[in-house]
Structure 1
Amino acid sequence: MPVVDQQQNYKLLSLTESDGKTVMKFQRSIEACDENDLPITNLPMKLIYAYGQNDDITYHSTRRGTKELNLLKYMPRVNPPNSQYFDMTMVNFTVPAKQTHYHCKIMRAPTFDRKQHIYRIEPVITNLDLVHHLLLYRCPLTVTEPLEAECYTSFRTNLCMETIAVWGVGGGAFEIPEVAGLPIGGNVEDFFYRLEVHYNNLNKSADRVDNSGLRFYYTSELRQHDAAVLGTGLVTAPWYAIPPKAKSFLTYGMCDTAYIPEVLETPHDLQVFSVMLHTHLAGRKVRVGHFRGGKQIDFLAVDENYDFEYQDVMNLGKTKTVKLGDKLLVECTYNTENRSTLTWGGLSTSDEMCLAFLFYYPAMNLSGCMSFPNTTTLRSEMGTNWLNLMSNKIWNDTSINQYQQTLKRIDQLVIIADSLNNISRNTGLIPDLSVIPSAPCMGGCATKSLALLSLLLCLAVQFMQKYY
């Protein structure tokens, strides 16, 4: 049983049961002035819950879960008129008996006489123990035939790179703000889409059949803006190494929006409303810094307690404007204390990534804005045989820190691509991220009622009942 907090900083307002749902309403200070309590901020926060079969307080067993919400800027679900849905899923796909498999299916979306707006995306997961994450990409007009194959083994699967939707293990449904929607249909450009499913088959089970994918709710009542998704962060490269035995190792990926005009004729500012952060098993923290005029002005997103088993789209609560010329820096912190060999950048869950998917409007024809350390500079710093030297190097706190500082200090190659894979290549340097300031604890902390209502045991339990 968890240890009871000696300082109870909340006041129970009501507790009711109705129609199989338990609803708890309580209040507590935003800044609890208690080292054992987290302050409530305007960033998304992970909530945990557990419940029993009856009113006796006993061990909850498997009746537990998590939910990520922005408590101070909660966005309620909307139900537009004339709404319907369609699914884009695998169909009776037999998952290979190997630990890591990325499967791609290129398919046509439903056709519509006029443009529709997608406003809600739900995961459709048939094997929760196998499916790690999903991505849906829009294909260019040059892709005109369906295809099903292992990802990144065919030139055709590599053509479809404009991200439309993402889902990570542990995540739930995703709502788009009422001012925007993901566009589909309504023009002569009858797009194909590529569904990418990452299967993490730890036990290498055979004969497992999967029908996972995504469900899209759409409406003919168009919203003010078309929305889109932009991939940012560190380019996933097989030569990028994270040393073993590291308590904390930082990597960086930069997006310099000043170069967007090199691939787009009519670029504009981005209004970012949600972010999904993504690493693999060694990831512990992810921060996205926002820079303007050479100075950091904000954090676009922060997860100081990143959990590989819980990856969800963060609702920022309000839009954040990224102006052309701004820089975005994705910082990922890893822990490899339990590893004895190098961890490489790659697709497997035992490899690593450092990504942040930005949901924004108005839409632009962009697929990615990322960076990676200049390999030419890296070879001159560490020697032409540096990859072999890395594998044989004795790693300790000093050598780990030296390598980390080298990767950050040298020039980076900044890559910006549109959906047709037109690419801009430039160089830049990694700026310093500031420390997130903690709110001062003052006497008479202002109390705000957190009317969670159906937050924990309605929304979260409904989700668990639906997908588990």
Structure 2
Amino acid sequence: MGSLLISPLLMLALSLVAGAQEDPLFPFSEYLDHGRDVRLRWGFDKATDIITFELTVNTSGWVSLGFSPNGGMAGSDIVIGGVGPQGTYFTDRYAEGNELPSVDKEQNYKLLSLTEVNGQTVMKFQRPIAACDPQDFSVTGIPIKLIYAYGIDDDISYHGSQRGTKEINLLNYMPRSTPSDSKYFDLTMTNYTIPDVRTTYYCKIMPAPFFDRKYHIYRIEPIVEHLDMVHHMVLYHCPPSVTNPHEEVCFHSAEINQCLQVTAAWGVGGGAFEFPEVAGVPIGGDGRVQMYRLEMHYNNPSKLKGRVDNSGLRFFYTSELRQHDAAVLQTGLAVSPGYAIPPNASMYHTYGLCDTSLMRQIGPEPAHDLHVFASILHTHLAGRKVRVGHFRDGQQIDFLTFNENYDFEYQQILNLGETKMIKQGDQVLVECTYNTQDRNTITWGGLETTDEMCMVFLLYYPALDISLCHSFPSPDDLVQELGMTNQK
């Protein structure tokens, strides 16, 4: 057990453009009925084990929302509320069957507000994510059948046809937009023969289609031909100085290394990702063909021969511009052999720091606050946990995101559950925890799958002209921590 000390030598690199904000408590929204009379908005914070809801129903009567094991009333955890002649009422209930649910012995729902205006009732409330008693329903990372019902007045009785059910994954929600002019383009490898070596990083610089005006990318999908070999993909936007399409092994040429602005990333086990309705990645409108570098990490431990790959990413875009431009900020530890993890360690920590107070020193415009809505956490095989602490004025105020059971084979984009604001001057500290009990030599930071990484991609808006904010370890502290007599 140990910790890797760092000096906050911050590396910053240039990136994108601008915007303002949504309600951070309720980043997700769904209509529960076809007539759009019942709308549910929600957000959650796993660090505090709280999920917050706003139920809006076009009625002046009682309203209810339930969590059902099968879509019916029996066994459902239900909350009922409204605004009556005597004021507001609100109760946590449990349904034994198709009858008025009984009041739960333990009231584990907290009312935040309840209003009735112009024939519309709005009920805001919180509850724990995990069940608190046998009559509560735990919210998990799988789809849940939500039931709703409401009345025309405050007499809580049979709802008639004013009820329904809808299955939603509350903790892993993925919106699905269908803009009227939606189109897509692909950026992929072209008949690339994967080498018969364990690790290959291959880069391809290519143009996106030309757009005569600005569009927003609102959905990104992976195209993966060889799931057993494609470990991850990162797409970087290139500066105007890069104009020639070509491909080569990564990290060797100056031109390849100019493309540093992360636009999209995918890791093994991940799926499609759709941006919140207030934000999209901008493309076009600057009068030039935009160039991108697709970085492919192929992991071929069996050294198989003859695999030809056309994997890459698909981008759905629309002319219906959203309120903000979105971007990606890469933070954590810089990828280099400058940090190490000792062998036979059951729980070893490394730390990467992003100090946002340094951003204002390099940007062409004053840096603004970041509204973070999703993340991708990334280590290699020894990684067991990743936590991203949020600090302000020297005190930790939150976890931006975390995964206490990190799985190398399942690296998906994680919605944060609520939009979290990083103010200028805040610090973001990435902690990675490793287990090397199956190793008898030092594990160095590096590109091989058997090397290690500690990085986090934060998806946020409005976009800044900054894409990297990470740190290097202090060499002296590293040597001392590992008990080495010299750096060789």
- TM-score normalised by the chain length of structure 1: 0.69
SS at match of 2:256: helix
Residue in 1 aligned with 2:374? 274
| Equivalent-residue separation in structure 2 for 1:347 and 1:235 (angstroms) | 11
SS at match of 1:156: helix
| Equivalent-residue separation in structure 2 for 1:92 and 1:190 (angstroms) | 23
Count matched residues: 346
1:335 aligned onto 2:392: no
Deviation at 1:385, TM superposition (A): 4.6
Residue in 2 aligned with 1:148? 247
1:360 aligned onto 2:417: no
Deviation at 1:240, TM superposition (A): 1.2
SS at match of 2:357: helix
Structure number having the greater helix percentage = 1
SS at match of 2:487: helix
Structure number having the greater strand percentage = 2
Aligned CA distance change for structure 1 residues 129 and 73 (closer, same or farther; 3 Å): closer
C-alpha distance after superposition, 1:193-247 (max 9, x if no partner)? 0000100011101111000000000001111111100100011121311011111
SS at match of 1:187: coil
Aligned CA distance change for structure 1 residues 151 and 326 (closer, same or farther; 3 Å): same
The AA in structure 2 aligned to 1:339 is: R
- For structure 1, the residue ranges without an aligned partner over 5 or more in a row are 1-9, 16-24, 50-68, 389-468
Deviation at 1:12, TM superposition (A): 2.6
| Equivalent-residue separation in structure 2 for 1:156 and 1:143 (angstroms) | 7
C-alpha root-mean-square deviation of aligned residues, in Å? Answer: 2.6
Deviation at 1:72, TM superposition (A): 4.9
| Equivalent-residue separation in structure 1 for 2:137 and 2:348 (angstroms) | 25
1:94 aligned onto 2:199: no
Aligned CA distance change for structure 1 residues 382 and 202 (closer, same or farther; 3 Å): closer
1:82 aligned onto 2:181: yes
1:139 aligned onto 2:238: yes
Q: Judge conservation of contact 2:143–2:169 (CA < 8 Å) in 1.
A: no
Residue in 2 aligned with 1:58? none
Aligned CA distance change for structure 1 residues 235 and 39 (closer, same or farther; 3 Å): farther
C-alpha distance after superposition, 1:363-417 (max 9, x if no partner)? 11112000122225555887885334xxxxxxxxxxxxxxxxxxxxxxxxxxxxx
| Equivalent-residue separation in structure 2 for 1:47 and 1:281 (angstroms) | 26
Q: Judge conservation of contact 2:331–2:354 (CA < 8 Å) in 1.
A: yes
The AA in structure 2 aligned to 1:243 is: P
Q: After superposition, where does 1:34-45 map in structure 2 within 5 Å?
A: 40=139
- For structure 2, the residue ranges without an aligned partner over 5 or more in a row are 1-66, 79-127, 145-167
Q: Judge conservation of contact 1:287–1:331 (CA < 8 Å) in 2.
A: yes
Q: Judge conservation of contact 1:73–1:318 (CA < 8 Å) in 2.
A: no
| Equivalent-residue separation in structure 2 for 1:73 and 1:275 (angstroms) | 12
Deviation at 1:297, TM superposition (A): 0.8
Residue in 2 aligned with 1:158? 257
| Equivalent-residue separation in structure 2 for 1:175 and 1:324 (angstroms) | 27
Residue in 2 aligned with 1:13? 70
Residue in 2 aligned with 1:181? 280
Instruction: Please point out which of 289, 301, 308 is paired with 2:408.
Output: 308
The AA in structure 2 aligned to 1:259 is: L
Instruction: Please point out which of 333, 340, 345 is paired with 1:234.
Output: 333
SS at match of 1:316: strand
The AA in structure 2 aligned to 1:365 is: D
Q: After superposition, where does 1:373-388 map in structure 2 within 5 Å?
A: 373-376=473-476, 378=478, 385-388=485-488
Structure of greater Rg:
2
Instruction: Please point out which of 203, 207, 211 is paired with 1:112.
Output: 211
The AA in structure 2 aligned to 1:12 is: P
| Equivalent-residue separation in structure 2 for 1:94 and 1:153 (angstroms) | 19
| Equivalent-residue separation in structure 2 for 1:316 and 1:73 (angstroms) | 9
Deviation at 1:347, TM superposition (A): 0.6
Residue in 2 aligned with 1:219? 318
The AA in structure 1 aligned to 2:337 is: P
Residue in 2 aligned with 1:406? none
